[in-house]
Amino acid sequence: MPKPEVSEPIPAATVVLLREREGRVEVLMLRKNAAIDFGGMWVFPGGCIEEEDYNGGDDIDVAARIAAARETVEETGIKTDPDTFVWFAHWTPPPIPQKRFRTWFYAAKIVGDDAISIDGEEIHDHCWINPQQALDKQKSGEIKVVAPTWVTLYYLSRYASVEALLERFSSTPPKRYLTHFGKLESGGRAVLWHGDAGYEAWDPSIAGDRHRLVIQGDDFTFENTVEKY
């Protein structure tokens, strides 16, 4: 049972929409209204899984896919087929009092040039952007992202085509991130995942294998000695 001061994670889903332009991978990103959850952050389309998304069943994967597709229409105007989504990750935040979301991450290729339609209320801006360019903009302070978004962009940036990326995601079991964190002596913090030497103790100072994101202001550094991708 969670401690009373720890919020129960809310089921949510997101879909990473991908396309190729001029020989480069691009991903659709949205900027949240500064007055709501993840305010001002750049994110992928998505949101909470609602009861209606289950369609009377109890399969969370089906519901998550439907939720991601529904939220994509609401936030961008783009219609997608949830049956084509590739599930590649699942993120659970650390046990903290603030509202938190355990989120299913999917990926899908977009064919054509559907116009993006944002509401100007929940979503205030959008762009198609190369993943490495997004990481560069985050590092320079031009955009703000949370750790799951940053790590996803990092993996996306390692592939030269959407086909290669989706093939990798399809042939690899979804990565599960149950997040721990800890403060660094430098004043920054480390977001820790399974396999990191400091993961179980929530102590980033422990020497050994690394599977973490080190955050120093706008400087994010991914350290991963436990797996290849």
In the chain, the domains with their CATH numbers are 10-178 (3.90.79.10), 180-229 (no CATH)
- State percent of the chain over pLDDT 90: 76
| Whole-number average pLDDT of the chain | 91
Residue 113 has pLDDT above 80, yes or no: no
Angular region, 161: left φ>0, alpha ψ -120 to 50, beta rest: beta
- Please tell me the least confidently modeled range out of 18-22, 69-73, 121-125: 121-125
Q: Say what angle helices 131-139 and 147-156 make with each other, to 10 degrees.
A: 140
> Which DSSP helix (H) or strand (E) runs through 123?
strand 123-129
Show Cβ contacts of residue 80 under 8 Å, excluding neighbours closer than 6 positions: 15, 17, 69, 72, 73, 108, 110
Give the residue among 223, 23, 42, 215 at the shortest CA–CA distance from 137.
Answer: 42
pLDDT of residue 104: 98
Rounded to two decimals, the pTM is 0.92
Residue 56 confidence (pLDDT): 87
Comparing 45-59, 114-128, 145-159, which segment has the lowest mean pLDDT? 114-128
Strands 219-224 and 86-92: unpaired
Residue 229: its pLDDT value, please?
64
Q: Which two tokens stand for residue 81?
A: 């087929």
Residue indicated by tokens 């480390």:
190
Q: For 166-172, which contacts have Cβ atoms below 8 Å and span 24 or more sequence positions?
A: 166/18, 166/86, 166/107, 166/109, 168/229, 169/86, 169/88, 169/107, 170/86, 172/88, 172/229
- Residue owning tokens 């100072």: 205
